[in-house]
A and B are shown apart, each in its own frame.
Chain A
Amino acid sequence: MTVLTIDHLTKRFGDTVAVDDLSFTVHPGVVTGFLGPNGSGKSTTMRALLGLITPTDGTATLDGHRFRDLDDPALKVGAMLEADAFHPGRSGRDHLRILATSARLSRGRVDEVLEIVGLTDAADRNAGGYSLGMRQRLGLAAALLGDPQVLILDEPANGLDPQGVRWLRDLLRFHASRGATVLVSSHLLAEMALIAEDVVVIRDGRLVTHDRVTAITAAANGSAIVVRSPQRSELATALTAVGADLTPAEDDQLLVRSIDAPTVGRVARQEGIELHELTPRAASLEDAFLELTN
């Protein structure tokens, strides 16, 4: 069970501030989504966590240890950063064998991960000829090689076909359910809403929010209770009296915010108002994301 801690992390590249005093923690047992617009510092944060770049200030640690101090990092942390980090003239299998050799893992394990990511048939072809999705699968195979308790994946779903996306979703959830710590960045927000329980949102290298997906979508403006009634104006008066925020919509609809659905139902009954619809509607993660990052 490993906790990832980003603590007042700052990274500057020349004049560019990629990450700006960022702090958050990632807990085991759930998938944590890492969201932010292009250039907001997600990859940079992950690279700092993986010891690939040196922070200008602050720390990024795994259970208090810097990645660079880990003895057998492949057995503890599986990471995928970019889909293109292969020698084009080397086969996928050889790429994995090289990593497995360094990590003192068996050749059998290479065959296993190739099977897991569905790359067995293409394993002996040069990686330079792989499609985007195949390169992504090879990157995932490398991350899974040491059967690690921590997964740090930068846009892993990029380029995967629908079967692949579903497979990845199941895989990440399975790892999290076994107690793994899983941090995944993605721009596929509908997918992220299905995979992640927790979400960290950053913008311009700073933290915007870190919360449960359900809390984030519920707090978004797009969330509302849709109510339809032939007595809309009476209902509006009654709901305003109990503190609701109202927006009239098409036909006889009202969008109700600030109070919950049971309260709407109770008020309507007390006032003897007829209801034709009472539907809580959550904003999508995409709506919430756009609202948070604009």
Chain B
Amino acid sequence: MLAQIRSELLKLVTVRTSLFFALAAAGFVALVLTIQAATAGGEFMGPLSDAATQRALFLTAGAAPLIAIVFGCLGVTSELRHHTIVSTLLVDASRIRVITAKTIATLLAGAGLGAIAVAVSIVGTGLILLVTGTSLSVEIVDVVAAGAGTIGGAALGAVFGLGIGGVVRNQALAVGAVLILMLAIEPLVTSLLPDVGPWLPSALVTVLAEAQTGGPIGLAAAAITLAGYALVTTVGAALTLQHADVT
């Protein structure tokens, strides 16, 4: 099993897509950080010395889990699109083992993506505070919780994306489905059914990435529910692959 996981990780690091996603996550966080720092103390944000403002700077990494969902989706569908799944199944005939190895590799890669975003937000915020001579007022434990939530959310998000990709199979359709789910269906459901909205994937990811406490859903419930989504879609992907004709 370890060999298969290493093989799957090697697949991810030997194409540019992963580098692109890592750069996109880092770049996105850096950009939002810069904008927030520039507008701090203005109309929409409190001064940099406020704990709330500093917290908001650290939370810029929260975009990583959403990027990770698309990343996971692309990883598995690219294998189907380029038919490399054929050579994969020729060296390991157990499809369950293949999808399990893929899931673990994607979980690790998603966590890596989250870690990059968190690192950029921490280093970036640190630099901003240093340059402006502002002292740290946010609770460290808050920052750690949000960082851990972001990394965990990105790991689970990537696996959720993998599951959707494995079920839909067509790359363009799968990525389209993920985007429509996050950008259209979730906001729609949230506005129509306010009780259901908080239980949808992006809302759960936000709870984790922002280490929200005191909301309708606790951290543990959010993590468990998100893991449940990831598990359900991955089992769906495994069943699909198990019975599919690979041509």
Contacts of A74 in B (CB 8 A): 90-92
**Chain A nearest CB, measured from B77 CB (Å):** 12
- Per the bound structure, the CA–CA distance linking A87 and B77 in Å amounts to 12
Interchain nearest-CB distance for A34 vs B (Å): 17
Q: Which residues of chain B are within 8 angstroms of A47 by Cβ–Cβ distance? A: 245-247
- Interchain CB contact (< 8 A) of B14 among A77, A91, A103, A146: A91
Q: Does B94 contact A (CB under 8 A)?
A: yes
Q: Are A73 and B93 in contact (CB under 8 A)?
A: yes
- 9 further contact pairs, Cβ within 8 A, besides A69-B93, A90-B15, A101-B3: A47-B247, A52-B245, A54-B243, A68-B95, A85-B87, A86-B82, A87-B78, A88-B82, A94-B10
A68 contacts which chain B residues (CB < 8 A)? Answer: 93-95
Tell me whether A51 and B89 are in contact (CB under 8 A): yes
Across the interface, A81 reaches (CB within 8 A) one of B10, B17, B86, B91, namely B86
Asked if A70 meets B84 with Cβ closer than 8 Å, knowing A54-B243, A54-B245, A98-B11, the reply is no
A54 to B16, alpha carbons, bound, how many Å?
34
Q: Is the CB of B93 within 8 A of A87?
A: no
Chain B residues within an 8 Å CB radius of A42:
none
Rounded to whole angstroms, the CA-CA distance of A79 and B91 in the bound complex is: 10
Of the A-B pairs whose beta carbons lie under 8 Å apart in the complex, a sample of 14, sorted by A's number, is A13-B245, A52-B247, A68-B94, A74-B91, A86-B82, A89-B15, A95-B87, A99-B88, A99-B91, A101-B3, A101-B6, A102-B88, A142-B90, A145-B91
Find residues 90-115 in chain B having any chain A CB closer than 8 Å to their own CB: 90-95
Which residues of chain A are within 8 angstroms of B246 by Cβ–Cβ distance? 47, 52-53
Q: Is A50 an interface residue (CB 8 A)?
A: yes
- Closest chain-B Cβ to A205's Cβ sits at a distance in Å of 16
Tell me, rounded to whole Å, the shortest Cβ–Cβ distance linking A53 to chain B.
4
Chain B residues with CB under 8 Å of A103's CB are: 3, 91-92
A87 near B82 (CB under 8 angstroms)? yes
Cβ of B190 within 8 Å of any chain A Cβ, yes or no, is: no
For A101, list chain B residues within 8 Å (CB).
3, 6-7, 10
Asked if A82 meets B83 with Cβ closer than 8 Å, knowing A52-B247, A102-B4, the reply is: yes
Looking at B10, B17, B90, B243, which has the most chain A CB atoms within 10 Å of its CB?
B90
Q: When the two chains form the complex, which single residue of A13, A87, A97, A102 contacts B15, counting CB atoms closer than 8 Å?
A: A87
Contact yes or no, A85 B245, CB < 8 A: no
Compute how far the CA of A142 lies from the CA of B243 in the bound complex, rounded to whole angstroms. 25
Min CB gap A40→B, angstroms? 16
Determine whether A289 belongs to the interface, using a CB cutoff of 8 Å to chain B.
Answer: no
Residues in A whose Cβ lies below 8 Å from that of B243: 54
Q: What's the dominant secondary structure at chain B's contact region? A: helix
Which of A50, A69, A98, A146 counts the most chain B CB atoms within 10 A?
Answer: A98
Lowest 4 CB-CB distances: which A-B pairs, in order?
A102-B7, A94-B14, A85-B83, A53-B245
Q: A71-128: which residues lie under 8 A (CB-CB) from chain B?
A: 73-74, 77, 79, 81-82, 84-91, 94-95, 97-99, 101-104
Q: How far is the CA of A98 from the CA of B94 in the complex (A)?
A: 16
A47 vs B245: C-alpha distance in the bound complex, in angstroms? Answer: 9
- CB-CB < 8 A to B6: which residues of A? 101-102
List, in ascending order, chain A residues with CB within 8 A of B87's CB: 85, 95, 99, 142
- CB <8 Å contact, B7 and A98: yes
B245 — which chain A residues lie within 8 A by C-beta?
A: 13, 47, 52-54
Interface centre among A77, A91, A99 (most CB of B within 10 A): A99
Chain B residues contacting A84 (CB-CB under 8 Å) are 83
Contacts of A102 in B (CB 8 A): 3-4, 6-7, 88, 91-92
B90 with A73: CB separation less than 8 A: yes
> Measured between C-beta atoms, what is the minimum distance from A265 to chain B in Å?
54
Chain A residues lying within 8 Å of B84, measured Cβ to Cβ, are 85-87, 95
| Interchain CA distance A67-B91 in the complex, whole Å | 11
CA of A156 to CA of B81, assembled, Å = 22
Task: Pick from B4, B7, B16: contact of A89, CB below 8 A.
Answer: B16
A79–B93 CB distance below 8 A: no
Within the assembled complex, what's the spacing in Å between the Cα atoms of A85 and B81?
A: 9
Q: For residue A74, which residue of chain B has the nearest CB?
A: B91
Interface 1/0 per residue, A232-254 and B, CB below 8 Å: 00000000000000000000000
